Structures are given as C-alpha cells and as structure tokens.
A and B are shown apart, each in its own frame.
Chain A
Amino acid sequence: MTSSLLLGLTTFAYLLCTVLYLSGTIFQYKPLLGAGTISGVAALSMQTAGIGLRWVESYRLGYGHAPLSNMYESLVFASWAIMIIYLVFEWRVGQRALGVFPALFSFLAMAYASFSKDVDSKILPLVPALKSNWLIAHVMTCFLGYAAFAVSFGLSLLYLLRIRFPQNPNPRSGFVALLPSASQLEWFSYQMVLFGFLWLSVGIITGSIWANSAWGTYWSWDPKETWSLITWFIYAALLHARNLQGWKGPRVAWLSMIGFGCVLFTYFGVNFLLSGLHSYAR
C-alpha cells in the first residue's frame, strides 16, 4: 500500500463521483445523488489516507516534511480541500444537486497531478527557503481559499443557468429541475465567497510573514504575490458590490467567475505563462 496507489485510486473515485452527481441531476434521480455523496466521502477518505501516507513516506526517505511543498502536493491538497468544503456545505444546506462542479474540479486537479508530464510526483527534500511552519500555514490557508472560490464558481455558474428558467422548476427542464432557487444559489455562492475571502486573506498574510523570515521582505510585488492580491481585490470588490444598487445577481455571479479565473492564473498562469517574460529582467 503506497500513497501513490491510494491517490491514483482517488482520481478515479472522483471521476465516478462526478458521473454520479451529473447523472443524478440530469435524470432527476435522487438516489444517484445520494450515491454521489457516498462516493465523494469515500474518495475523500481514501485521499486523506493517501496524503497521510505520503507524509509518513517522506520521513522514511529521511527528509520528512508535510506534503505541501510542490505542484503535485498542492494539487492533491487543492482537490482534497474542494471536496471537503463542498461536502460540509452539502451537509449543512441539504442540497445534493450542487455536487457536479466540485467533484469535477477535484477530479481534474487529481488527474492533472497524476497524469501530466509537467508535474513531478516524487517526494523531494525541502530546500532551505521552504523549511518554515509559516509556509505550511500559508499553503493550507491559500488552498482552502482557492477551493472555496472553486465551489463558489460552480454555484455562480449554476445560478446563471438557473435564472434562465422560470421560478418553479419545470419537470422538463432537465439539469435545472433539482437545483435550489436562484436566490438560494446566490446566497450560497455569497457565503462561499465570504469563506474563501477569509482564507485567502490569511493566506496572503501568512505568505508575507514567511517571505519576511526567508528573504527579509514581506511584499516584493513578485508576480505570484501580485496576482494573489489581484484576486483579493476582485473578491473584495464583489463583497462590497453586493450592497450596491443593481449589482446583486448576475453581475456578482460573473464577478465571482472572473475572480476564479484570477485564482487559476495565480496558481497556474504565473508559473507557466509569466516566468518567461521576466527572465531577461534580472
């Protein structure tokens, strides 16, 4: 039993979970949604065990550290965070038809981590700059924020779909039929953005504290830092805009989706698209 086996199985478990939620919503068959929840919980448990095992394995290799230090480990954690945030949310609000997008994102993150050639899953020792407890706090809080924003992206998307249909669900409206009302979706998405904003703020703060202890600067307008700030500005704008006349509803939903676009750019875009631009600057 290795962590890579467990995490590999997790990838397929999330795929199954996505299919169950999707078919349950499209065919309006609630037992499939229930199966989606069960498979989600099972996948999450397997993933938790896999992450824990990877942690243990790193100690066996002689350079033990929390599994939060590179692209592979952060993708796995992001996938885990999305699912746990969604499942707690599903339990609190009792709505199972919202699981498609979170499950899909968890699957995509795991699939990318497991199968992409750009992502190395080897357990590597920590270089000096990464040896800090603040770093662990920073990675966890940032990814909890990103995960919440991913879930709110899904909710905003569902909201925009929902408002295209009349108030009372039409039995023939397929996908939309089992969704809660538009105002409920809007409220859920807002709560999720609030949750994400709290974690993102703490994430930026812990990142600054770590950067200060490693390099002596808590803010250096580095592209990664700057893009996390851009994401913060967009979501701060969203939280304030809701109180403004004419902004509540579709505009906020679009803003939430733009915000998640910024999250994706902060996570992936900066690494893959921007590094080339700065190679001649220094």
Chain B
Amino acid sequence: MSQEKSALGAVLGWLSSLKLTLVLFFALAAASLIGTLLPQEISLPELREHFSPAMASLINFLAFNDLYHSTWFRILLLLLCTNLVACTIERFPKTIRLLRRFETPFDSQKLSKFGLSSSIVAALPFERTQSVVESAVCETFGRMCRIESEPTGEIGPFCAVSETGRWSRLMVYMVHLSVLVVLVGAFAGSYLGFKGSMNLIEGETSDKVMLTEGESVTELPFALRCDKFEVSFYDTGAPKEFKSDLAVIQNGREVLKRSIIVNDPLTYEGITFYQASYGTYLKQAEIELTDPDSGKKIAMTLPFRQPVTIPGTNDQLMIAEYQEDLMRAGQAIELVYGKQGRQSSAKWILIDRPYHGNRIENYLVRVTKTDKAKFTGLQVKKDPGIWLVWAGFTLMTLAIGLTFYSSHRKLWVCIEPDKKRNKTVVTLAGRTSRNAQAFEEQFEALRSSLENRLKNPSDPL
C-alpha cells in the first residue's frame, strides 16, 4: 500500500515540479522550431517530391509535416497545462495561509533579526511617538494602512503591523489561469467552430463555405450575396483597398447589408466574414484543338469545371483550374482529358504565351477567348471560443504587469518606553515579496523621516 502511495506521490511530485516546467518549455520551443524548418501541412506524396522516400516516410511518421496539430505536440501542451494545474494546487494553500491575517506575536528583539530592520531612539514621550509613527507609516503605505495593535495593559510595548498589496501574491496564479483560459478557448474554437473560405462573384449568392481542413463544404443557415466588389490602387501600383458590398439573406429576406474591407469584417449569427483577397474568375474559355496528324481544327467552348464532349469523339475535356499568373508565365488553365468518364491526363495550358507544351493527349491547344469576372475572396470563421481567448489575453496582460510590478509589503513596528533614559525606542522591520530595491528605498525614506520627526521635541503634529 505504501509502495503504491509513494509511486503516486512521486508522479504527482514530478508533475508539479518546476523542472518539468523547464523541460516542457524547452521541448515546446524545440518542437516549434522544427516546424518552421520543414514545410507544414504537406501530404506524403508532396513530401516525396522534395525529400528521399526514406526521409519523406520518416517525416510523415513523426508527423513533422503537420507538427502543430500532431498528437505528440498536443500531448506536450496538455502536459504543460497539467503541470500548471498541479503546481497551482501544490502552492496555492501556502499562499492563502500567507494572506490570512495571522500574526505570531513579536517583540523588538525579533524584529531586529529581520533582513531589513532599523532602530530609532526617540526623544519624544511614548504617546507622542506612537502617534508620529502611526501617521508616518500611514503616509508611506498610503490609504492601505491598517495598523492592528495587540491589547496591552498599560503603557507597555506597542506592536503593530501594516501591510499593503496582499492581493499581489495572487497575481502569479492569475497569469497561469489566463494561459489555461486561452488554451481552452483555442481548443473550443477548433473543435466547435470551423474555418473556411468563400469566393463570391459580383452578384452571386451562396450559403456554402469551403472548409480549410478536409476540403469539405459546409452549409450556412443563411446566404451571403456580393452586390459589388471594388479594388483600388495607389499611384505606386500597390493595392489601396478591397471593398465588398455584402448582403445577408435569411428565409428569403435581406436581413443585413454592409460593406466590408480588410480589418473590418462582418459578423452574423456567430459567423464572421473577412475580406481576405480577390481574384479573377474564369466563367468560360473558347479553345481551338488542332490534330497535328490531320491538321483538323476543332473549336470548343468550355464552361469552367464542366466536362464537354469533344465533337466526333467519345472523349471529354474540362477546365479544372484557372490561374491568373502561373509561375510568372501569365494566365493559364488546367485542362483535364477524360476517356470514358475517367481522367486520363491533365495539363496546364498557357493562355498568353505561345508554348510548345500547350498540348493535351494528341492535340495542340490554343486558347482563343476567355470570359472572366471578378470575385471577392472571403475568409469565413465560426469561433465559439474566441471570447474566452480574448478574456484570457486581457487577463494575461493585466496579470503579467501586476505580477512583476506589484508586491506584498509588510512593515512591523514595536514602540517601547526606555524608562532609564526617559526615551522611547522604535524598532522597524520590513519585508516584501518582490522589488526588493524599491522597497528598501521606501523603508529608508520612512526611517529617515521618522528619525527627523522623533528627535525634535517641538515637532508639531
């Protein structure tokens, strides 16, 4: 039984250790680093194009090609959260005890043993000394001054404590909590929401979003229509603004109309549309096929992504892709050749340049006309966790600042009459949770102020 307990205790001890925190920070840094050196979100076949088959398989096996979403990376993050929670559970009770107003009795001898302590001999009588000290301490600690005195019989030693900033000891827990809040918000967003894109030609209405992950399509509970898209340029040629005039259609009615630009998205029912890009959309192209053997020319009109049977044959052609600038060679379309319903070959055809590679199967291809339209590229996102993330960020900002720049400062005072020499002895001691230098300066200022005020018998209060 005790063996099990000590094993469990050892595991818990390791989970709440600072050493584990360090190991995890370094591990996460190293892992993140690897991810920036290798191409990310790349499939195994694509990997094989750039690495040897053995290397490609290794990278794929270790999930280095999608590192940040891999299981082991998530385990590292989960371990960090666990470590954080374990450390908090272990250290929080001690902090609470520190914060409780529980003072062990002390006297001037105990105070003189403090790291920061000082003794002043006052020329004033006991009561005057006490009121001078009380007001001086209140000045130093501002309005947070709370002096509690132990009940004494007569004019005996007067001992008191003043402190400020007790709440600052909780700030470090706030920082760690904020990290957890952000991570929970991030996970909620990625599991409960989605990210995708939607391209709308001017005038088009759509309720379908092409998801980034999995390349599937999701349907929205409402539709979006793009009435107009405008792009303006500076005289330098750089883009000045992309603007889309959008309308939200729900149940056949127009419920919202708004223009969006980059950095100013539209949100409706928890789904946000961001102006991300724009482009040219190929509606259809007219091509001319030439059979090099017979010299016969065939003209065809190919609507975008619709297979069309080549006249006089059982084969089909389809434009699968259109690019405005394929590797700096200008406009291009990807033609797919289908034999009996199955793709037999695919080829990129340059539109603007005469190119010996403009051929598919046995035909030479020439694009004679293109029919284009502008479309607006929108990023679409549903993120139920985002408010948690923002809350976490806000908390983190406040908490980091306050962790570093606030401190729990305590001042102990003991005033005793010295009947032999007819004077009063004041003993001061102080302690701070951080920012020792600033506190030392404050302590020294209090000490010298008290020294001045306590030596002059005619000092007006």
Contacts and interface: CB of A to CB of B under 8 A. Distances in A.
A21 to B, nearest CB: 24
A274 B34 CA distance: 12
B389 A218 contact: yes
B29 interface: yes
B251 interface: no
Interface in A152-203: 187, 194-195, 197-198, 201-202
A223 to B, nearest CB: 4
Given A227-B36, A237-B26, A280-B39, A215 B238 contact: no
Given A229-B32, A230-B32, A240-B25, A213 B264 contact: yes
Q: How large is the interface on A (under 10, 10 to 19, 20 to 34, 35 or more residues)?
A: 35 or more
A214 B274 contact: yes
B41 A125 contact: no
B242 interface: yes
Contact of B239 (A127, A197, A278): A127
B224 to A, nearest CB: 14
A208 B393 contact: yes
A233 B33 CA distance: 11
Given A233-B29, A278-B39, A131 B263 contact: yes
Nearest to B41: A281
A129 interface: yes
A28 B236 CA distance: 54
B12 interface: no
B39 A234 contact: no
B335 interface: no
Interface string A138-164: 000000000000000000000000000
Contacts of B437: 187
A170 B264 CA distance: 63
A125 B265 contact: no
Contacts of B18: 240-241, 243-244
B276 to A, nearest CB: 6
A230 B38 CA distance: 16
Interface in B286-343: none
Given A201-B396, A221-B35, A227-B36, A244 B28 contact: no
Contacts of A131: 262-263
A63 B234 contact: yes
Given A128-B241, A216-B274, A230-B33, A205 B397 contact: yes
B186 A219 contact: yes
A268 B18 CA distance: 32
A240 B22 contact: yes
Interface string A64-77: 00000000000000
A214 B263 contact: yes
A95 interface: no
A209 B265 CA distance: 13
Contacts of B16: none
A128 B39 contact: no
A216 B272 contact: yes
B381 A205 contact: no
A7 B195 CA distance: 44
A19 to B, nearest CB: 31
Contacts of A129: 262-263
Contacts of B42: 281
Interface in A116-132: 124-125, 127-129, 131-132
A218 B32 CA distance: 17
Interface string B223-243: 000000000001010111110
B40 interface: yes
A59 to B, nearest CB: 15
A277 interface: yes
Contacts of A240: 18, 21-22, 25
Interface string A90-121: 00000000000000000000000000000000
Contact of A216 (B35, B276, B396, B400): B276
Contacts of B396: 201, 205
A271 interface: no
Given A128-B241, A208-B393, A216-B265, A281 B40 contact: yes
Interface residues of B, number: 51
A128 B28 CA distance: 34
B366 to A, nearest CB: 30
A131 B240 CA distance: 10
A209 to B, nearest CB: 7
A2 interface: no
Which of A208, A212, A213 is packed against the most chain B CB atoms within 10 Å? Answer: A212
Nearest to B69: A221
Nearest to B434: A194
A236 B25 contact: yes
B397 A128 contact: no
B240 A125 contact: yes
Given A214-B274, A216-B379, A280-B39, A128 B19 contact: no
Contacts of B386: 212, 218
B234 A125 contact: yes
A244 B22 contact: yes
Contacts of A221: 35, 40, 68
Contacts of B240: 125, 127-128
A176 B145 CA distance: 44
Interface string B359-392: 0000000000000000000011100001001100
A202 B239 contact: no
A224 to B, nearest CB: 9
B72 interface: no
Contact of B25 (A198, A201, A237): A237
B1 interface: no
Nearest to B381: A216
Interface of A: 63, 124-125, 127-129, 131-132, 187, 194-195, 197-198, 201-202, 205, 208-210, 212-219, 221, 223, 226-227, 229-230, 233-234, 236-237, 240-241, 243-244, 270, 274, 277-278, 280-281
The 7 closest A-B pairs by CB, nearest first: A281-B39, A128-B262, A237-B25, A216-B379, A233-B29, A216-B274, A216-B381
Interface of B: 18-19, 21-22, 25-26, 28-29, 32-33, 35-42, 50, 68, 186, 195, 234, 236, 238-242, 261-265, 272, 274-276, 379-381, 386, 389-390, 393, 396-397, 400-401, 404, 437
Given A221-B40, A237-B26, A244-B19, 17 more contacts: A125-B234, A125-B238, A125-B240, A127-B240, A128-B263, A131-B262, A195-B404, A198-B400, A209-B390, A213-B265, A214-B262, A216-B381, A221-B35, A226-B68, A227-B32, A234-B29, A240-B25
12 contacts: A124-B236, A124-B238, A131-B263, A205-B397, A216-B276, A227-B32, A230-B33, A233-B28, A240-B18, A240-B22, A280-B39, A281-B40
